[in-house]
Structure 1
Amino acid sequence: MPRTVNTTDFHKKKEVRDNEYARTIPSNQLSVSAPLHWLALGLHDFIRMPLISAFYGLCFTAAAVAIVQLVQWQGTHLVVLPSLVVYMLIGPFLALGLYDAAWEREKGRSASLLHSMKAIGRNSTSQWAFTIILVVAMIFWMRIAALLHALYPSVQGAPLSEFAPFLIVGSLVGLVIASLIFAISAFSIPLMMERRVDVMTAVFTSFNAVKSNIPAMIVWAMIICGGVLVGFASFGLGMLFTMPILGYATWHGYHETVKSSRQT
């Protein structure tokens, strides 16, 4: 049943009907070390499901290698951000297969590659709506980045002090936008897949979970950034390992963070 969305949706934790639109599902309180436990579980899944891990690892690797090659071919840093935008849009859909595999193992079933691939189409309406949200956010980020280039020194070989306004303002703006995108996407995709909720419920719930567990989420964000950096620093080959492990870990993190229907 649709209802009016207001700013208190990110703060309220009340019991609601399962079919209510744009609700906020309560979250559990996490210890700051919780993401390390998720990572350990993700590594365990990676070892136990080598075929599925290898398939999705290769998909992530192929995308990363394509980005690295594109940057080298173009010879300019201007293609980096658009390329990363495309990677961030492809990533969540590939991760759906990893979430499904981890979910199947949680239920005591044998995970299969075919079943995980079918999960990509589960609750596709909400998933595409979320993709549109990400696209709009990324376009906004790119436009802001283009405007900030006005602060870039116009003289080659300018001293570091002249780069300071560009670096400081650009870093702060990037941090704010990246934090917002992380907050709304941390647990949105697995929530939409498992419970088939609408996109706004997924976004509100993810934002609330991150806001309620900031120390743990900072650790989790650093782990994700570290995994992605290792992947790109190894010319994409590291993605064979880091991305499947992070995908499985995200599923376990979602289950530990967002309260189940039996807990609400």
Structure 2
Amino acid sequence: MENTAQEALQTSSKTLSVIVADDLTRADLFAALHAGWRDFIAFPLFGLFFGVVYVAAGLLIWTVLFRGGQVAWLVPAAAGFPLLAPFVAVGLYEVSRRREAGVPMRWGAVLGALRGRGDEQILSMGVIVFVAFGFWLMIAHGIFAVFMAESGIGMESLTLFASTAGIAMLLVGSGVGALMALAFYAITVISLPMLVDREVDFLTAIITSLSTIRANTATMLVWAVMIAVLLFIAMAPIFLGLVVALPVLAHATWHLYRRVVMPA
């Protein structure tokens, strides 16, 4: 029993002792994008599959809101939709991991990456992802109530954004949304690929992600802006650009994780 306790302590120590590089540069970001593109080209079916699933989810949200007469909700829904991307990208992290390790690609293993290593840590992160998306929609509804409650304009028309109150609502909503997105980015950008790569709990992974942001603040903020710009550009043609943008960014994020977090 004593040996078992010592082994458990050693395993715990290895799990928690994560070394994060503090010398990340912008050149590393472009190198990660290049490596992400190579992964996508090497195994395009996996990337296209997850990209199509993501786009289909976006079109479903758009259809429900449009048919429900809640057209103006398309704006906050589209703004919050990228929050779901990191969880969708988990399978693509597994593709990059397998390609790097020279392990054969199997659909079962790639799709099964969402289960994590049998410890439900990735699923716990998934709950955080979807709760964050729902929380953003509630915040957006609250901002609408504050600015538009007395205007008499409902959410069934985009004309509300042309009014003075609508413009103010957009400015405040954009600011609040940006802060939420940044906080969410900080806890997921490294944590999700780390959970695919290592047997750690999701709190350790989140702490590592935050440590990465703290150690490489300027460069990681540039990466956040690059992700946001590329995703929103890709969303412009009815979400279709995401079929390629999502997998490339997912693979690139994996390589960024491998550059920042030292091998166990």
Q: TM-score range by the shorter chain?
A: 0.7 to 0.9
- Give the drift of 1:36: 1.4
Write the distance in 2 (CA, Å) between the matches of 1:165 and 1:58: 35
- What residue identity is the alignment partner of 1:201? T
Q: Matched residues, percent identical?
A: 28
- What residue identity is the alignment partner of 1:154? S
**Counterpart residue number, 1:127:** 122
Residues 1:65 and 1:166: Cα distance change in structure 2 (over 3 Å): closer
- Structure 1 residue runs of 5 or longer lacking an equivalent are 1-15
- Give the drift of 1:54: 2.5
Contact 1:99 1:190 in 2 (8 A): yes
1:53 equivalenced with 2:47 (yes/no): yes
Match of residue 189, structure 2, among 186, 190, 214 = 186
Structure with greater helix share of residues: 2
Residues 1:85 and 1:230: Cα distance change in structure 2 (over 3 Å): closer
Write the distance in 2 (CA, Å) between the matches of 1:43 and 1:87: 20
- What residue identity is the alignment partner of 1:144? I
- Give the drift of 1:206: 0.7
**Counterpart residue number, 1:11:** none
Write the distance in 1 (CA, Å) between the matches of 2:75 and 2:115: 29
Residues 1:26 and 1:126: Cα distance change in structure 2 (over 3 Å): same
SS in 2 for 1:110: coil
Provide TM-score, normalisation by structure 2.
0.79
Provide TM-score, normalisation by structure 1.
0.79
**Counterpart residue number, 2:147:** 151
Equivalent residue runs for 1:1-264 within 5 Å = 18-20=11-13, 23=16, 25-29=18-22, 30-75=24-69, 76-78=71-73, 80-81=75-76, 88-89=83-84, 91-123=85-117, 124-149=119-144, 150-152=146-148, 154=151, 162-163=165-166, 165-261=168-264
Alpha-carbon RMSD: 3.0
SS in 1 for 2:89: helix
- What residue identity is the alignment partner of 2:113? A
Residues 1:258 and 1:110: Cα distance change in structure 2 (over 3 Å): same
SS in 1 for 2:120: helix
- Give the drift of 1:258: 1.6
- Structure 2 residue runs of 5 or longer lacking an equivalent are 1-8, 154-158
Contact 1:64 1:232 in 2 (8 A): no
- Give the drift of 1:155: 6.2
